Amino acid sequence: TQLLEQSPQFLSIQEGENLTVYCNSSSVFSSLQWYRQEPGEGPVLLVTVVTGGEVKKLKRLTFQFGDARKDSSLHITAAQPGDTGLYLCAGYANFGNEKLTFGTGTRLTIIP
Amino acid sequence: ETGVTQTPRHLVMGMTNKKSLKCEQHLGHNAMYWYKQSAKKPLELMFVYNFKEQTENNSVPSRFSPECPNSSHLFLHLHTLQPEDSALYLCATQGGAGQPQHFGDGTRLSIL
């Protein structure tokens, strides 16, 4: 069974600060996705990373896929209250696989 | 609007009741999923349907019974549930292998 461990589990910081969330596994994933889930809603895709070492930027969010495709990180610059939510990483074990393995989640709170 | 609609949004039922959760998609996706989201646990995959055929049953108790009558609708029939079944039940769709999943906003289920 493939597991994705996210850290930290909870994070509460002041508006304007920077933060990094980590997603780690001992298994290799063909691709990895990050989702954000707000209260009362389902998860919404933020980004997909496919190539080992890949870095993608989405405004103030920077996503990195590890060289070995076993881990990923999400860095947020100058956090804003609108960034508050549950961040989930999820990976496909193999190309063509229909089953996503979800991480344990990081609950982020940005204090105005 | 994610293109995936779940009803009802909230459901409270006794352990002896029978109820059904409904998921409707307008994305034309071939794969549909049921997930369970509990506090302090990663998203748990329950069932996968591909082209209306069930391709995955992740050791889910028989008190949960899925049904996929057509490519746009997915149901989860509930019968004789237990208090530990209280959770957020999420429906998701996928357009192709390795593609992101699109989630509904879930049904918050409480078992009395």
Please write the tens of the pLDDT for every residue from A15-74: 999 999 999 999 999 999 999 999 889 999 999 999 999 999 999 999 999 999 999 999
Q: Are B105 and A42 within 8 A, CB to CB?
A: yes
Residue A1 has pLDDT above 70, yes or no: no
- Return residues 38-57 of A near B (CB < 8 Å): 40-45, 48
Within 10 Å of residue A77's Cβ, how many Cβ atoms? Answer: 13
How far apart CA A54 and CA A69 sit, in angstroms, is: 9
Please write the tens of the pLDDT for every residue from B98-107: 888 999 999 9
Point out the residue among A43, A103, A105 whose CB comes nearest to the CB of B103: A43
Q: Which of B102, B60, B80 is nearest to B14 (CA)?
A: B80
Please write the tens of the pLDDT for every residue from B11-60: 999 988 899 999 999 999 999 999 999 987 889 999 999 888 888 888 89
**Does residue B37 contact residue B87 with C-beta atoms inside 8 Å?**
yes
